[in-house]
């Protein structure tokens, strides 16, 4: 992506932000690489009350009942788990999991997509979305309590003792920093990439080998074997977080492979589609491109990326207006001082504004939402708030303009300038 503002922090004091969305520099063509679809369902952390783990429990219970009534029901728990791996079931659609593969990320994303739809139907909760277990967040390496109740369908007695007794692990053991520092999606036999090596080479990428595998190994039991991993209800929360970290990596300015073979699942020039099942027991055959930005099946977004980054979603009308005018509306709310501290990151190369906060998550949906922010200065951006006429706390536009010049890290600088109404 060219001509977008470099990633930087805009920190200001005592303002409310309304209608934040994909803000690009002049002449830029908005084309975010990270997951962003509309209307988007929002996936929340398993530690967030909005995740509704009770619906997940109900869904898993029903799926297990379906499987006991008919082992060949594709919505059944054992059937779905065997799609990933099985010691007893063979042939299509079983044992499909893409490991040691450049399709590791998209295959699991497709797998999660249809599983989520099945749970939504099984739980009879039309608003259900898969929660993610954000073990990358401090103090969240322990299992959510709902997974530690022996009476719950979310419990798995094969896990190591720490997992079911409220203990956690050291997130430093996952080498997440090294994983997320990967510059390229594709690696080689000599240099490891983020997401694997191009087919036909079968080598793991940094996320799979250094981070994903270690979580499986720490939990052990069913999770310690790819043939049984999906039998543990935490598997789906774990992989939802891996999917979220893929989005996080992309949001940092990285890219997926442009290769048509990767996008269209081509092996020796011929399509090799993945066979999955939906909530109506219908067999579907899908490929990578369907689950990427702009793809027909990408219908969700994460409330937070790694580092407690909070995506702000807006409807198409607001988004288009901001792309055209490069404008966000800001106003100082009464008594803003001392409220929740927030920081706004501008991912110019992703035409996206996000908010980080130490407290509650905030998502802008179909209508603008004002978000309080505690402001600190930033050497790369300049914020000048014009006084409201007659001392009114009126909203005023803040135009995003671009300076051409080099920062100490190279690239371009930008400035936010407030102007009176």
Per-residue confidence of the chain (421 residues) as pLDDT tens digits? 222 212 222 222 222 233 332 222 223 223 233 333 345 789 999 999 899 999 999 999 999 999 999 999 999 999 999 999 999 999 999 999 999 999 999 999 999 999 999 999 999 999 999 999 999 987 899 999 999 999 999 999 999 999 999 999 999 889 999 999 999 999 999 999 999 999 999 999 999 999 999 999 999 999 999 999 999 999 999 999 999 999 989 888 899 999 999 999 999 999 999 999 999 999 999 999 999 988 999 889 888 776 433 333 333 443 444 444 443 333 323 333 322 222 233 323 223 333 333 333 333 333 344 433 332 333 333 322 223 233 323 222 222 222 222 222 222 222 222 222 2
Q: Measured in whole angstroms, how far is the alpha carbon of residue 241 from the centre of its chain?
A: 7
Q: Give the pLDDT of residue 210.
A: 92
In degrees, rounded to 5, the angle at the alpha carbon of residue 124 between the alpha carbons of residues 122 and 128 is 90
Q: Give the pLDDT of residue 58.
A: 98
Q: Give the pLDDT of residue 316.
A: 42
User: 80 with 230: CB under 8 angstroms?
Assistant: yes
**HEC per residue, the chain:** CCCCCCCEEECCCCEEEECCCCCCCCCCCCCCCCCCCCCCEEECECCCHHHCHHHHHHHHHHHHHHHHHCCCCCCCHHHHHHHHCCCCCCCCCCCCCCCCCCCHHHHHHHHHHHHHHHHHHHHCCCCCCCCECCCCCCCCCCCCHHHCCCCCCCCCCCCCHHHHCCCCCCHHHHCHHHHHCCCCCCCCCCCCCCCCCCCCCCCCCHHHHHHHHHHHHHHCHHHHCCCCHHHCCHHHHHHHHHHHHHHHHHHCCCCCCCCHHHHCCEECCEECCEEEECCCCCEEEECHHHHCCCCCCCCEEECEECCCEEECCCCHHHHHHHHHHCEEEEECCCCCCCCCCEEEEEEHHHCEEEEEECCCCCCCCCCCCCEEECCCCECCECEECCCCHHHCCCCEEEEEEEECCCCCCCCCEEEEEECCC
d(Cα 278, Cα 282) in Å, to the nearest integer? Answer: 5
User: 95 with 89: CB under 8 angstroms?
Assistant: yes
Phi and psi at residue 383, to the nearest 5° = -115, 120
Q: Which domains does the chain have, with CATH numbers?
A: 8-34+313-418 (no CATH), 41-302 (1.10.1280.10)
User: 336 with 16: CB under 8 angstroms?
Assistant: yes
Please identify which residue in the block is written with the tokens 């979305």. 129
Q: Give the pLDDT of residue 151.
A: 97
Q: Model pTM?
A: 0.68
Q: What CA–CA distances, in Å, run from 414 to 10, 28, 169, 326, 373?
A: 10, 14, 41, 12, 20
Q: Give the pLDDT of residue 306.
A: 63
Q: Give the pLDDT of residue 387.
A: 30
What is the phi-psi region of residue 111: left when phi exceeds 0, alpha when psi lies from -120 to 50, beta otherwise? alpha
Residues forming a β-bridge with 345:
9, 354
Q: Give the pLDDT of residue 252.
A: 82
Q: Which of 40, 49, 90 is nearest to 298 (CA)?
A: 40
Q: Give the pLDDT of residue 263.
A: 97
């Amino acid at each position: 992506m060219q001509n977008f503002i470099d990633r930087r922090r805009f920190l200001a004091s005592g303002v409310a932000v309304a209608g934040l969305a994909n803000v690009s520099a002049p002449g830029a063509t908005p084309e975010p690489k990270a997951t962003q679809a509309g209307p988007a369902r929002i996936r929340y952390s398993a530690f967030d009350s909005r995740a509704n783990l009770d619906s997940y429990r109900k869904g898993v219970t029903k799926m297990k009942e379906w499987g006991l009534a008919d082992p060949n029901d594709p919505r059944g728990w054992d059937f779905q788990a065997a799609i990933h791996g099985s010691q007893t079931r063979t042939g299509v659609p079983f044992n499909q999991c893409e490991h040691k593969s450049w399709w590791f990320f998209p295959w699991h994303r497709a797998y999660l997509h249809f599983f989520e739809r099945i749970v939504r139907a099984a739980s009879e909760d039309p608003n259900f979305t898969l929660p993610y277990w954000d073990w990358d967040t401090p103090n969240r390496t322990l299992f959510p309590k709902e997974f530690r109740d022996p009476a719950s369908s979310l419990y798995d007695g094969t896990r190591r003792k720490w997992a079911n007794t409220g203990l956690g692990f050291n997130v430093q053991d996952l080498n997440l920093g090294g994983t997320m520092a990967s510059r390229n999606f594709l690696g080689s036999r000599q240099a490891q990439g983020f997401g694997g090596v191009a087919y036909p080479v079968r080598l793991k990428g940094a996320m799979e080998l250094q981070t994903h595998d270690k979580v499986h190994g720490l939990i052990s039991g069913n999770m310690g074997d790819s043939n049984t991993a999906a039998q543990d209800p935490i598997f789906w929360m774990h992989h939802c977080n891996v999917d979220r970290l893929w989005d996080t990596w992309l949001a940092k300015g990285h890219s997926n492979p442009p290769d048509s073979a990767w996008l269209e699942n081509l092996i020796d020039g011929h399509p090799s589609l993945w066979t999955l099942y939906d909530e109506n027991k219908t067999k579907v055959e899908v490929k990578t491109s369907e689950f990427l930005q702009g793809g027909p099946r990408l219908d969700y977004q994460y409330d937070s990326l790694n580092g407690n980054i909070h995506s702000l979603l807006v409807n198409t009308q607001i988004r288009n207006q901001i792309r055209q005018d490069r404008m966000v509306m800001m106003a100082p709310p009464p008594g803003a001082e001392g409220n929740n501290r927030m920081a706004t990151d501008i991912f110019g190369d992703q035409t996206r504004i996000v908010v980080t906060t130490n407290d509650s998550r905030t998502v802008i949906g179909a209508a603008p939402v004002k978000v309080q922010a505690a402001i600190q200065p930033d050497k790369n951006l300049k914020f000048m708030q014009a006084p409201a006429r007659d001392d009114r706390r009126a909203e005023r536009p803040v135009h995003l303009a671009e300076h051409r010049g080099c920062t100490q890290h190279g690239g371009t600088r930008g400035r936010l300038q407030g102007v009176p109404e």
